[in-house]
Structure 1
């Protein structure tokens, strides 16, 4: 595609965004009518609207309740099995879903081109992974959302667009052995190191996992490039064929370049050094993923913008970031009114509607174009903050999943509260050149009173303090981190700790390097996908707790009660 056609295509996409957001109310109404018209004879709609006009929007809003996954689970079971039974957390999908997702992907580069030029003159090193698919009892394929997209013609045919020239061959992306896939994708990225203009992964955690993998395997990768021979550990036939073609001839000079960089004592700035033409890092860095920002800035020496392009979930791709180079803390997503019909539940002090079992009065629901600046929750479970409007369409900042994840007594600590307290505490590590790599938590009620246990993996960035008991990052610093967390938790927690004595001192357990990668491996073996994996912020699994506790190398407790004023 020549430059003029690309420019025209980009301008048309941007005009499309303007038109959609300017006519958001009409787009939403037309979309809902189309959904109802198509589905008016379905058993579900007939159940709630029997004898009524099933394509009447007002009737729909009055008669059809707001639901959660468990309400439609029996219907999904029947689809999956052809009869009854089935697999939990399946979501039926149709071909149009891929069209909608592709529509959002096709908006990303026209938006980026307004801020970063020349992205069609090189390659994208974006690390994508698939999960082995299953079949339902009646023979329907069951895949993760991203696996379904990567296996579709929408993704496989992307090579016709120069903005989608990826370093990773399809065979490497579509390999369901995550280690072989990672090895081959990193090898492809290193071979093309002087052509990479942007790099990343779906989530920031996956990109950091790739850097950790590279730390362990760079010698083997250099050997492959130096000899022109692929490591025999790669047994997947598709990967071997694609990567052998890519290696072609031995390249000792390139291998020496990479080895000189990777053999340095410090990996600060390693991303910029290995891929010197990269203009930005693309990954989800909002919500709980924001805790990875310091690590990404360390590996990029703070030189590369962290770009979060879109807001999506398994249920739907919601919207795009129209200001992709803004600070991650200020990212706001513009919801696209043609992707789904949206209704929101206002959150305030007196009407939280926090339980999924709780029925939502229809008069409390707010349409997309009628939301007001503030916090809103919808039944997918995300808490969003309305930050403003783009034409008729509201823009949202992702806050968190509104789940209570820790509770001992009357305290109810959700993911946002925990993350905020962790961020307050980890600042105490910075003077010691230490990074908090990852964290999770557990409500330990094995003794009375119970207490919060926080697992931390810490990376020491200065070799002189690496894993030394006598290092400046001693017990007092970690104890101060414990109390800093407690001081940042809410009034009820601090009252329970100080006045009621119903919660014991908060504990930080420092685990060995690589522990959270092992935790990720555990969940992947149990069915999780690398693309969509997020470290659970509270551990419920006995196997996961066993893994974490077997890797603890130090224990620290809060040295005093947090302040509390009745």
Structure 2
């Protein structure tokens, strides 16, 4: 088998390869000897587990002190979710030592949980090293294929590594920020954005300052986990072009969202900032691919990311190679892409212990997988996650040597996940229940409208309160920290209400029964996980929303005009209506659509103004996270409904 990381190559690649020989050797050995690689990882993880409360509670080591072997590992512990880890996690959060790992917990990673409360995952030095080795191999392969990456500045969009602190003193923050700060010194020297910008808590301010510094640099690579961020950057460059242009011409950072900096920074900080700012002629074309000599864009390519990838050439202003960032999550690094054509990655068997659950529920190791099959990923790490159900579905697309090539397909179970929000069915049900209040509803389904800025659409049969979109927005922000973040950053638009004709879900259930499903076991579709699921609902309703506002059609309307549309539809449904009534009703619907479009434009302009006026978020304690995330950011939770007609689809979760 040909070496993935050959000795020959461009200068920067050979230099970094020399620094990474231990990881390169381990990776290439794992391709032909996956069992040995995973056996070594289990031994290292068990060393970290010795003497911990978790090991004692689960009798992980025998009387002779020996831990389970690779062959007996699957019987040694059950598969657990984050919630199942909580009895030990809470003790870690409280500052207790040697609960899940022997190594001290350095910090916590914040990510979304299934119950609405944020998950706080421990970071230890051995865990950080596992992730760093995988990311180092990704960076090495990138440099092997794109020498220009090392000849310019790498622009990376991340969240702060520290967002708050628990009473125990442990800080929590984003994994992207942590990895950004953990890059090798040589890599950090090329960053175009100073560290204090990355640590700004306010998203809009952080993004503006990031772009201001990047616009004076020769950026050759752009990296972000979610490709939706790239589309957001393109929109913000256009929105802020006057403010950014003024700051570039004057060599300042005091326009747009950055106006607040003068009041909060010390003289020393302002002087240090002034030394880094340069006067630059503003670009004439504000598309990223025209501003910078981008050699590559790095982001997710699997799962729902495909919707955004199709739009990247237009947003960038030209075709730029797109590189997968890997099969990765806050919990760890699992698959390393080794080429631009890779839409997933080769399993990183020198990092964590990986298991794969097949459709029958059997746990398999990497060398036991079948090409073309889908599996649920279960991981064990040095950070205190033991047989942890990641709830990610991956597909085996082939093998490199004996190591499987993996592609992320979707989140497992009923989860909506277009931009990383990971909305579970339970969260949606609770949010919709709160949004509807006492309204009488026969059924509802939540899906996506794939506009320029995607948004959620709640289809409801029954009473739809005029303020339903605002109520739903508030409830979803409170239920899911990631959804609140995606709304806060503008990667998701405000939700819409979709009124379904009477009898929609009755017809839907009848259609499923006709297909052979037991009538008593047919469950209404709370989540439309793909376009086919959404089409089934619209077929049961009688027509698809994109076909326009007419009798029997589904209509996306603003809350202010829903009563008008219902009244017109009621008149059209009365028996004996002549052509004049039909024409008049159709005219009224068209008028409502026109007015609604204007209302939508006003809502979007108002929301943009309110977003620009936002200020910082408060420090949050762990017990306050679910409540404060939805209420304490100064963000408008509850934008209006989607006006006019829209192309309504859904994305794979």
Change (3 A) 1:61 1:549: same
Distance in 1 of aligned mates of 2:42 and 2:270: 48
Q: Deviations over 1:392-428 (max 9, x none)?
A: 21111111112325889999989xxx67xx7xxx6xx
Secondary structure of the 1:203 match is coil
Counterpart of 1:96 in structure 2 is: 126
Q: CA deviation digits over 1:440-496, x for unaligned, max 9?
A: 233536549xxx9999xxxxxxxxxxxxxxxxxxxxxxxxxxxx9998338975786
1:546, distance to aligned residue in structure 2 (A): 8.8
Superposition pairs of residues 31-430 of structure 1, within 5 angstroms: 31-49=41-59, 52=62, 55-57=67-69, 58-82=71-95, 89-130=119-160, 132-151=162-181, 154-155=182-183, 158-161=184-187, 165-192=190-217, 195-231=218-254, 232-235=259-262, 237=265, 240-248=270-278, 251=279, 254-255=280-281, 257-258=282-283, 260-262=284-286, 270-275=287-292, 277-323=293-339, 325-326=340-341, 331-347=343-359, 351=360, 364-373=362-371, 374-378=373-377, 379-405=389-415
SS at match of 1:92: strand
Q: Is the 8 A contact 1:487 1:494 kept in 2?
A: no
Which runs of 5 or more residues in structure 1 are unaligned? 263-269, 352-359, 427-434, 456-483, 499-503, 529-539, 559-566
- Match in the other structure for 2:478: none
Aligned equivalents of 1:181, 1:489: Cα separation in 2 = 38
User: How far is the alpha carbon of 1:370 from its aligned partner?
Assistant: 0.8
User: In structure 1, what is the equivalent of residue 532 of structure 2?
Assistant: 488
Cα deviation for residue 386 of structure 1 reads: 0.6
Aligned equivalents of 1:312, 1:203: Cα separation in 2: 12
- Kept in 2, the 8 Å contact 1:410–1:496? The answer is no
- Is contact 2:163-2:619 (8 Å) kept? no
Report the 3-state secondary structure (helix = DSSP H, G, I; strand = E; otherwise coil) of the residue aligned with 1:552.
coil
* Displacement of 1:338: 1.8
The alpha-carbon distance between structure 1 residues 176 and 338, as it changes in their structure 2 partners (threshold 3 A), is same
| Structure with max Cα Rg | 2
| 2:224 aligned counterpart, secondary structure | strand
Q: Distance in 2 between matches of 1:486 and 1:62?
A: 36
Distance 1:405 1:234, change over 3 A: same
Q: Distance in 1 between matches of 2:619 and 2:310?
A: 29
Distance in 1 of aligned mates of 2:350 and 2:140: 18
TM-score relative to the length of structure 1: 0.68
Check if 1:17 corresponds to 2:27.
Answer: yes
Q: CA deviation at 1:75?
A: 1.1
Partner Cα distance (1:96, 1:370) in 2: 27
Q: Is the 8 A contact 1:132 1:143 kept in 2?
A: yes
CA contact 1:123–1:197 (8 Å) conserved in 2: yes
Shift of 1:26: 0.7
2:503 is matched with none
Contact 2:225–2:299 under 8 Å retained in 1: yes
Distance 2:410 2:209 in 1: 34
Contact 1:199 1:280 survives alignment (8 Å) = yes
Corresponding residue SS for 1:114: helix
1:532 corresponding residue in structure 2: none
Equivalenced residue count is 455
In structure 2, distance between residues paired with 1:547 and 1:176: 18
Q: Name the structure, 1 or 2, with higher relative contact order (CA <8 Å, separation 6+).
A: 2
- Relative distance call for 1:400 and 1:302 in structure 2 (3 A) is farther
Separation (CA, whole Å) in 1 of partners of 2:304 and 2:237: 24
Given that 2:302 and 2:343 are in contact with CA atoms closer than 8 Å, whether structure 1 keeps it comes out as yes
Q: Provide the rounded CA distance (Å) in 1 between the counterparts of 2:535 and 2:139.
A: 45
**TM-score, normalised via structure 2 length:** 0.60
Counterpart contact for 2:296–2:320, Cα < 8 Å: yes
Pairs within 5 Å for 1:543-562: 547=637, 550-554=640-644
CA distance in 2, matches of 1:516, 1:100: 42
Q: CA deviation at 1:17?
A: 2.7
Q: Distance in 2 between matches of 1:49 and 1:68?
A: 19
Q: Check whether the contact 1:230–1:240 (CA below 8 A) recurs between aligned residues.
A: no
Question: Are the structure 2 counterparts of residues 489 and 169 from structure 1 closer, same or farther at C-alpha, using a change threshold of 3 Å?
Answer: same
Given the superposition, is the C-alpha separation of residues 413 and 112 from structure 1 closer, same or farther in structure 2, using an over 3 Å criterion? farther
Question: Contact conserved, 2:31 with 2:402, CA < 8 A, in 1?
Answer: yes
